[in-house]
Structure 1
Amino acid sequence: MNKNIFSQIYGDYTQRIETGLLKTGVKLPSEHEIAEEYGTSRETVRKALHLLSQNGYIHKIRGKGSFVLDMNRMEFPISGLVSFKELSERLGRTVRTLVHETACVPCPRNVARQLQIAEQEPIWKVVRAREIEGEKVILDKDYFLASVIPELTEEIASQSIYAYLEGQLSLKIAYAKKEISVEQVSDEDKRLLDLARDTHIVVVRNYVHLEDTTLFQYTESRHRLDKFQFVDFARRVQAEE
């Protein structure tokens, strides 16, 4: 691989994307076309595109090509427990919550397994789409133990459930385990979100515990691929000699 040409391809495309010469959603030329343009091998081009993908400039879709990502994607923290209302205040964007369902229902088998409770036990199911700058880009599906939360209304769900739990019910929310995966979009995603051309979606599963260690909430938060990057801060701890 010619490192000078590799660096040139990477540098040229990062500049074009950062300056707006290549707009969000634009399809890049094929590997063959780029290789011809720079007089190099497809392997060199492939490695440059891979680095562009790793650094969040493009998204590669098998069989379709490489597409420019939105460089103004919103950062969502991996660690910490933050409500969407709290997060939206940090983002400084125009946001809206659309409540599609708030109901006390018998717990289905798949959710009972996540909450570690008996099937058919009463739970609150809340389905909300999060609209940012006029686009519905997050679908939150929350499940709460009815034994912990006796009442939950659509009005509460449209604001901040955590503010209600902590302020009105005096519950102490302590910690959560999070799992992040990329999955195929579902029919529900297509119906409730403004999906771009992506056929996949980022799914963040939260298992939230109270201070007494009770697992009281399971959440499936489904994020449109091109709008978010998930961030964290890590500090290395030196091993003691």
Structure 2
Amino acid sequence: MSKFHEIFLEIESAILNQTYKSGELLPSENELTKKYNVSRETIRKALTLLLENGYIQKKQGKGSIVLDVKRFNFPISGLTSYKELQDSQSIGSQTILIENRIASIPKHIAEFLKVSEATQVHTVIRARKLNDEVVILDKDYLLTSVIEELPDEEAENSLYHYIEHKLGLKIGYARKEFTVEPVTEEDRSLMSLHGDHHVVVTRSDVHLEDTRLFQYTESRHRLDKFRFVDFARRRGPQAY
């Protein structure tokens, strides 16, 4: 990992943990250069990453102002596992593995993915508990033709860490869908809903870098706990 990316991650963590609070100025480029013992160019590259990811806004004559970044934000763009979000945003939660078994893919998912109903998948259901309440229900279906084995301890920890670091596969891209839907009986039995009648549902079909489909995931979120965000920066007017 490059030095400027390491510095970006450290400052990102400090912003998410509110060491640097919204509206405050980051240390100057000179101060950061001395702190990390690197060149000013390296610091500028790290600050550019922070700018492009929506953590700071540069203001002439003042420096880098920290933007309002709340915890428990789920990015619309990008492919990030729950474990990575948990670590980066200091989410003190617990993962409960409810189910991990091999079965035929459910019919409605087979139709959605345009695959055979005989396709075998690892069916993984996990509950995410925050403050002793289950606020997310994650349901993953991983093709056994790509992911041959999936131990319980890996399913309970991080699927993406297992796939990338232990199986050596490269995750490439996903198509995502966001909806608000009525709760199901399964939601009521497994989640702490406090009478809510709807949940936010994200669905993704995920592909490896070589374009192979390997996962379908459905994540069901309690309405009041999380928000889904993206950060957009205008690049300037385009000529047509």
Aligned to 1:97: 95
Q: Is the 8 A contact 1:88 1:95 kept in 2?
A: yes
Instruction: Supply the AA of the counterpart residue of 2:219.
Output: S
* In 1, Cα distance between equivalents of 2:167 and 2:91: 30
Identity %, equivalent residues: 52
Name the SS for the 2:224 alignment partner: helix
TM-score (norm 1): 0.68
Aligned to 2:17: none
Task: Please list the CA deviations of residues 205-233 of structure 1 after superposition, one character each: whole Å capped at 9, or x if unmatched.
Answer: 11111111112111100000011111101
Q: Is the 8 A contact 2:72 2:91 kept in 1?
A: no
Counterpart check, 1:183 vs 2:181: yes
Which of the pair has more CA radius of gyration? 1
Task: Please list the CA deviations of residues 6-41 of structure 1 after superposition, one character each: whole Å capped at 9, or x if unmatched.
Answer: xxxxxxxxxxxxxxxxxxxxxxxxxxxxxxxxxxxx
* In 1, Cα distance between equivalents of 2:89 and 2:196: 24
Counterpart check, 1:239 vs 2:238: yes
- Measure how far apart 1:184 and its partner are: 0.2
Name the SS for the 1:114 alignment partner: helix
- Measure how far apart 1:104 and its partner are: 0.8
* In 1, Cα distance between equivalents of 2:91 and 2:117: 40
Uncovered stretches (5+) of structure 2, i.e. residues with no partner: 1-69
Aligned positions of 1:39-78 closer than 5 A: 74-78=72-76
Q: Is the 8 A contact 2:102 2:120 kept in 1?
A: yes
Aligned positions of 1:111-130 closer than 5 A: 111-130=109-128
* In 1, Cα distance between equivalents of 2:121 and 2:100: 11
Instruction: Supply the AA of the counterpart residue of 2:239.
Output: E
Q: Is the 8 A contact 1:178 1:204 kept in 2?
A: yes
Name the SS for the 1:212 alignment partner: coil
TM-score (norm 2): 0.68
Q: Is the 8 A contact 1:114 1:218 kept in 2?
A: no
Task: Please list the CA deviations of residues 63-118 of structure 1 after superposition, one character each: whole Å capped at 9, or x if unmatched.
Answer: xxxxxxxxx77211111111111111122132111011101101221121233210
Uncovered stretches (5+) of structure 1, i.e. residues with no partner: 1-71
Aligned to 1:142: 140
Aligned to 1:46: none
Q: Is the 8 A contact 2:125 2:138 kept in 1?
A: yes
Instruction: Supply the AA of the counterpart residue of 2:221.
Output: H
